[in-house]
Amino acid sequence: MSVMATATGTSPAVGSFYIRRSTRGVPRLRMAVRSSAISAVPPILTKIQKDCATPLPVLRHVSDSMSADIRAGLAVDGGSDLQMILSYVDSLPTGNEKGLFYALDLGGTNFRVLRIQLGGKDERVIATEFEQVSIPQELMFATSEELLDFIASVLANFAQKEGGKFHLPPGRKREIGFTFSFPVKQTSIDSGILIKWTKGFAVSGTAGKDVVACLNEAMDRKGLDMRVSAMVNDTVGTLAGARYWDDDVMVAVILGTGTNACYVERMDAIPKLQGEFSPSGRTIVNLEWGAFSKGLPLTVFDRDMDAASINPGEQIFEKTISGMYLGEIARRALLSMAEEGSLFGESVPKKLSTPFVLRTPDLSAMQQDNTDDLQTVGSILYDVAEVESNLNSRKVVLEVCDTIVRRAGRLAGAGIVGILQKIEDDSKGTIFGKRTVKPPIQSHTVEAKSNNKSNLSQYFQHCNDHGWRLVRTLPQYRRYLKESVTELLGPETSHHIVIEHSKDGSGIGAALLAATNSKYDHNY
Interface contacts to ligand BGC, rule CB under 6 A: 107, 181-183, 198-199, 233-235, 254, 256, 258-260, 288, 290, 318
According to DSSP, the residues that pair with 132 across neighbouring strands are: 112
Nearer to ligand BGC, 349 or 505 (CB): 505
Nearer to ligand BGC, 183 or 413 (CB): 183
Residue nearest to ligand BGC (CB): 258
Q: How far is the CB of 259 from ligand BGC (least distance, A)?
A: 6
Q: How far is the CB of 286 from ligand BGC (least distance, A)?
A: 7
Q: How far is the CB of 105 from ligand BGC (least distance, A)?
A: 10
In single-letter form, the type of residue at position 127 comes to: A
Q: Determine if residue 120 is left, alpha or beta; phi over 0 gives left, psi from -120 to 50 gives alpha, anything else beta.
A: left
Q: How far is the CB of 434 from ligand BGC (least distance, A)?
A: 33
Q: How far is the CB of 239 from ligand BGC (least distance, A)?
A: 11
In 3D space, the residue among 359, 364, 356, 460 whose CA is nearest the CA of residue 412 turns out to be 460
Nearer to ligand BGC, 195 or 269 (CB): 195
According to DSSP, the residues that pair with 184 across neighbouring strands are: 194
Nearer to ligand BGC, 315 or 454 (CB): 315
- Give the gyration radius of the chain's Cα atoms: 24
End-to-end CA distance of the chain: give it in Å, rounded: 48
Rounded CA-CA distance 330/268 in Å is 44
Nearer to ligand BGC, 233 or 458 (CB): 233
Nearer to ligand BGC, 87 or 376 (CB): 87
Q: How far is the CB of 412 from ligand BGC (least distance, A)?
A: 12
Q: How far is the CB of 440 from ligand BGC (least distance, A)?
A: 26
Nearer to ligand BGC, 361 or 505 (CB): 505
Rounded CA-CA distance 469/376 in Å is 20
Nearer to ligand BGC, 338 or 463 (CB): 463
Q: In this structure, are residues 89 and 192 in contact, taking their beta carbons and an 8 Å threshold? A: no
According to DSSP, the residues that pair with 259 across neighbouring strands are: 255
According to DSSP, the residues that pair with 179 across neighbouring strands are: 105, 232
Q: How far is the CB of 232 from ligand BGC (least distance, A)?
A: 10
Helices (H) and strands (E) in the chain, counts: 15, 15
Nearer to ligand BGC, 162 or 314 (CB): 314
Q: How far is the CB of 257 from ligand BGC (least distance, A)?
A: 6
In single-letter form, the type of residue at position 15 comes to: G
In single-letter form, the type of residue at position 509 comes to: G
Q: In this structure, are residues 362 and 1 in contact, taking their beta carbons and an 8 Å threshold? A: yes
* Residue 492 neighbours by CB distance under 10 Å: 10
Q: How far is the CB of 122 from ligand BGC (least distance, A)?
A: 33
Nearer to ligand BGC, 258 or 345 (CB): 258
SS3 letters for 156-168? HHHHHCCCCCCCC
Residues in the chain: 524
Half-sphere exposure of 471 (CA within 13 A, CB side): 25
| 348 secondary structure, DSSP code | P
* Residue 211 CB contacts under 8 Å (≥ 6 apart), including other chains: 178, 180, 184, 192, 193, 194, 231
